[in-house]
Amino acid sequence: DNYQPLTFEGFCEVLQVTSESEKEEVHNILQELENEYVLVKNKKRKYMHLRDANMYIGKINIKAKGFGFISCNDLSSDVYVSKDDINGSLNNDEVLFKLVPSRKKGPSISAKVLKVLSRGIKYIVGEVVKENNKYYLKSDDVLFKTVLEIRNLNGAVPEHKVKVEIFEYISDKKALCDVIEIIGHKNDVGVDVASVASKYGFVQDFSKEVYEEINNLNVDYDYEYKRRRDLTSKLIVTIDGADAKDLDDAVTVEKLPNGNYLLGVYIADVSFYVRENTHLDQAAFERSTSVYLVDRVIPMLPHKLSNDLCSLNPYTEKLIIGCEMEINKDGEVLNSEIFEGYIKTYARLTYEEVNKVLKNNPNTAITDPKIIKLIYDMHELSQILTKQRLLRGSLEFNIPEGKIIVNDQGEVIDIQLRVHDQAERIIEEFMIITNETVAQRIYWLELPFLYRVHDEPNEQKLKKFFLIAKNLGYKVKNKGKKITPLEIQNILEDISEEDQGLHTVLLRMMAKAVYSEKNIGHFGLASKYYTHFTSPIRRYSDLVVHRLIRKYLFEHNIHKDEIERLTKIVIEAAHQTSVRERDAIDCENEVNDMKKAEYMEKYVGEEFEGVISSVTNFGMFVMLPNTVEGLVHVLDMHDDYYIYIEDLMMLIGERTKRKYRIGDKVKVRLLSANKQTREINFDLVYNKNIKKVKKASGQRGKNRHSGWDHEKRRKYRHRSKQKSSS
């Protein structure tokens, strides 16, 4: 509290340092702190903390027009930096910056970059080109303006799509790089998708060492069957998408004589096959998740495991970790048990066929009376669980989601609206209650564990959302009190079909769910205890959770040394799985946006009906019924000068008073669609007597889901027709 800037001599005096050797040591320490940007020296040669000099360290995000924003952990919000103050920094660079009064209209405070501390981009994907007997990389990232000269081609030739490693930035204008991965010829089928995957560090194949370990697996199944619980006589089924091959969960429900339900959820025992400190484990850790793209799955584990040994395929004995729960008619778990076992699933069901049964569709392929009764029992229990979850305030988002259909050449032939129906809800509810049960069981052991957590949203952002909702006519009961999930859910339930874009607005304002060694609860699910236990084939987090369960509940290995080791493992896994999950989501979204833009390229000039999904100060986004979304820029709204009213998320014409807000239905013309930039641009069609309006494919359907950690939502975004690579 009594801190004051001091010179080198001042530090020596305070520390009572007199000898030359001690002074040299103090000087070296101060120099090290200055080099690490903990301290900075002012004009009076006094050392002071960075913040006292109004200086900070952050990561810069540069936009297409040259300006940017710097994010910094020590500041509450991102800081604007003008094109003139970027000082040679590139996108994602770590920079030292100073807060300065803004010289132009806009934010009162902006940033000025003082120094680039480290370059943010080390690897980049693009096309090899040859100019003047030199080879260069034409980057896929249109914002990356630095000239990249390739020094080592490693077998690549012009028109190859490659990934390079930048080994030297000569300046912000030029860098040197080596090819480290050849993705394929730029015109080859699927290279566009593979290039995006490579950008995020996801590759299809595994190392030779990984395959050797799998081939050398030696399992004594007879021994395992003797020591595990035999569940092969139970009526256990899997319910997945028709094209799924990595079946990691199976379920059953029994009605008990006391009126309660016995829910059994049985998860592939991946941790039995994937042991710590192996090449296989390291590969899984590096990927941390399977990635589901429009034309392929890039698995976390090789297919021999993900689609065969671990997958709970029907009529085959499989090793599992089970969780059985007795649940009453109020949706409360009365008691539970977690154990090792083995099962033989009775049937491999699909969402489509189960939904047919629940809708009394006579065309269903499911005719077995035992299975039909089981489906109705499961549906009955899932409805109880849904009701209980919503009563406590779990958030339900209604956000349209597209399904991109491609042919064997990788070309998009259709985009349909994905429907989230009753069968999907059954599995979602069963996975959520299982994850909660497992998390609560381990929490009370007070041992290291990997939780799935979701922090409370930023209060200011929520108040902004409430203001927008209120101005759109919705009742907001909160009056300065702490905001609860239940209050948010009450608003979500009231949102009309026309204002569904508010769901997306709110979702963007919420914190991101992550993995953590600390349990802070899950706000979106209104859950005190939550983890990811149910998908170890495709998520490394779940694999870690299985290993911890084995240590604590099966082996009872809770010695001090082991606890210390596991604590370190959990902390490392929490960081890695959170980062790679974000990478996978960004990768999937980028591929989807690219393919949507590619699909729309052939419709330039045509007209569509759409709904305004978001409004900003630079225009509005319009979503077509098939979930394709594009921008109507204010500069393309020629009938008037439009003013943005932030509290209403509305654009209003200064002269005509014409208003545009979330949920408004509009007719638009496709101006442009660019696969490389992934951008789609519309302009408005003002003539109401339009003779030809092309309706995009896809129908609006039931699409409500928890929006938080939906167990299989990402898993089935890829197309129905799988290639052999999946």
For the chain, the domains span 8-50, 54-118, 123-188, 211-455+513-594+708-716, 459-509, 607-693
Residue 127 reports pLDDT greater than 50: yes
The predicted pLDDT at position 470 comes to: 80
Helix axes 459-471, 501-509, angle to 10 degrees: 160
The predicted pLDDT at position 265 comes to: 99
Q: What is the CA radius of gyration of the chain?
A: 28
Place of tokens 């259909």: 405
Residue 276 reports pLDDT greater than 70: yes
Torsion angle in degrees (nearest 10) through CA of 428, 247, 366, 375: -30
The Cα angle at residue 621 between residues 620 and 623, in degrees rounded to 5: 145
Q: What CATH number was assigned to the domain covering residues 123-188? A: 2.40.50.640
The predicted pLDDT at position 478 comes to: 64
pLDDT tier for residue 6 given thresholds of 50, 70 and 90: confident
The predicted pLDDT at position 284 comes to: 98
The predicted pLDDT at position 658 comes to: 93
The average pLDDT across 466-486 equals 75
The predicted pLDDT at position 699 comes to: 36
pLDDT tier for residue 2 given thresholds of 50, 70 and 90: low
Q: Burial of 61 by CB count in 10 Å (0-12 exposed, 13-18 middle, 19+ buried)?
A: middle
pTM over 0.75: yes
The Cα angle at residue 113 between residues 108 and 117, in degrees rounded to 5: 145
| Residues 80-108 pLDDT 10s | 898 899 999 998 899 999 998 876 554 56
Parallel, antiparallel, or unpaired for β 333-344 and 229-230? parallel
The predicted pLDDT at position 697 comes to: 41
pLDDT tier for residue 397 given thresholds of 50, 70 and 90: confident
For residue 65, the SS3 value is coil
The predicted pLDDT at position 538 comes to: 97
CATH topology agreement for domains 54-118 and 607-693: yes
The predicted pLDDT at position 68 comes to: 86
The average pLDDT across 641-668 equals 91
The Cα angle at residue 18 between residues 13 and 19, in degrees rounded to 5: 150
The predicted pLDDT at position 103 comes to: 64
**What is 54-118's CATH number, 3.40.1130.10, 2.40.50.690, 1.20.58.1690, 2.40.160.60?**
2.40.50.690
The predicted pLDDT at position 37 comes to: 82
Q: Which residues pair with 620 in a beta bridge?
A: 615, 632
Q: Which residues pair with 614 in a beta bridge?
A: 621
For residue 485, the SS3 value is helix
The predicted pLDDT at position 480 comes to: 56
The predicted pLDDT at position 718 comes to: 40
pLDDT tier for residue 700 given thresholds of 50, 70 and 90: very low
Residue 693 reports pLDDT greater than 70: no
pLDDT tier for residue 450 given thresholds of 50, 70 and 90: very high
The secondary element (H helix, E strand) that includes residue 381 is: helix 369-391
Among the residue ranges 251-260, 270-279, 312-321, 418-427, the one predicted with the least confidence is 418-427
Q: Which residues of 209-247 are buried (b: 16+ CB within 10 A; e: fewer)?
A: ebeebbeeeeeeeeebeeebeebeebbbbbbbbeebbbb
Contact 469, 476 (CB under 8 A): yes
The predicted pLDDT at position 309 comes to: 97
The secondary element (H helix, E strand) that includes residue 113 is: strand 109-118
Among the residue ranges 97-111, 174-188, 292-306, the one predicted with the least confidence is 97-111
The Cα angle at residue 616 between residues 614 and 617, in degrees rounded to 5: 165
Query: Tokens for 57?
Result: 């360290």
Those residues whose C-beta lies under 8 Å from the C-beta of residue 297, and which sit 6 or more positions away, are 245, 246, 290, 291, 718, 722, 725, 726
Percent share of the chain, pLDDT over 70: 92
Residue 688 reports pLDDT greater than 80: no
Residue 74 reports pLDDT greater than 90: no
Q: Which residues pair with 321 in a beta bridge?
A: 267, 340
The average pLDDT across 586-597 equals 96
Fold of the CATH domain 607-693? OB fold (Dihydrolipoamide Acetyltransferase, E2P) (2.40.50)
pLDDT tier for residue 622 given thresholds of 50, 70 and 90: very high
